[in-house]
Structure 1
């Protein structure tokens, strides 16, 4: 295969388009700090309706749930542990942070479920690069 000026130009344009698309995706994600709500028609697990279910990965996962009074409750969940929240969710967002620092930065936010709904969140990745995924249960 011979590399001609035309093939190199086409490859350069394609690479430029890819870089612009990736950059736009990163900027769009950074502009909205709250993850979009993912809604499942699958009901919550039996005995855990209207509750939050949080599963930690290989690190301590801190979950801050809003409350009716506005303050909210933060719970630290140990590595490889599943925690069921029995508290009522207020309005606002669930905030997730990582580690055992006194005030770790928020790494993920998700809309708090409405009354009558539950939420299922799973953390993965590493403490340095955590990933949290949530789904609202009807």
Structure 2
């Protein structure tokens, strides 16, 4: 194979585009990762199937239930509170796919944790601990109770 200046330039350009594309995907994923779903063997609380249960620690927790387009519902939950969300799986024609959390009184604070919305018929329980400066959120998916 004969290497010409034109072939070298085209090869370098194609390689550069591939590197930029892969790099952008890695950066986007690292900036907003979604934690893997964790399934609990314990059933959901009776009367709260298909809901999200969010328990806060010593700070305000902002819960963002969002669809693939980033639209959805944001709820600020006060310190030491448990909140049940009936909109976990969406409202109307919108289906939520991810729950994101931020800490503090500002609803647009940086996202500190993301968790996938489970399939219909399953609930998600999330507990926030730590401090507003160093928040920690842990979530798990539960099945509906046996009837």
- Into which bin does the TM-score normalised by the smaller protein fall? 0.7 to 0.9
For the residues of structure 1 that align with 2:68 and 2:116, how far apart are their CA atoms? 15
- Name the residue aligned to 2:23: none
C-alpha deviation, 1:109, in angstroms: 0.2
For the residues of structure 1 that align with 2:58 and 2:87, how far apart are their CA atoms? 25
Aligned residue for 1:44, secondary structure, equals coil
Aligned residue for 1:40, secondary structure, equals coil
**TM-score, normalised by the number of residues in structure 1:** 0.72
Matches within 5 A, 1:64-103: 64-67=64-67, 71-89=71-89, 90-103=95-108
Query: Measured at CA, do residues 45 and 88 of structure 1 come closer, stay the same or move farther in structure 2, by a change above 3 Å?
Result: same
What is the total number of aligned residue pairs between the two structures? 110
Aligned residue for 2:47, secondary structure, equals coil
- Name the residue aligned to 1:11: none
Q: Provide runs of 4+ in structure 1 moved above 4 Å.
A: 67-70
C-alpha deviation, 1:31, in angstroms: 7.7
Query: Measured at CA, do residues 122 and 88 of structure 1 come closer, stay the same or move farther in structure 2, by a change above 3 Å?
Result: closer
Matches within 5 A, 1:37-56: 37-56=37-56
Name structure 2 gaps, 5 residues minimum.
1-29, 90-94
Name structure 1 gaps, 5 residues minimum.
1-29
Q: Which moved more, 1:31-40 or 1:82-91?
A: 31-40
Q: What is the Cα-based RMSD across aligned positions, in Å? A: 2.2
**TM-score, normalised by the number of residues in structure 2:** 0.68
- Name the residue aligned to 1:20: none
Query: Measured at CA, do residues 59 and 116 of structure 1 come closer, stay the same or move farther in structure 2, by a change above 3 Å?
Result: same
For the residues of structure 2 that align with 1:117 and 1:102, how far apart are their CA atoms? 27
Match of 1:117 among 104, 122, 146: 122
- Name the residue aligned to 1:59: 59
Q: Tell me, yes or no, if the aligned pair for 2:68 and 2:97 is still in contact at 8 Å.
A: no
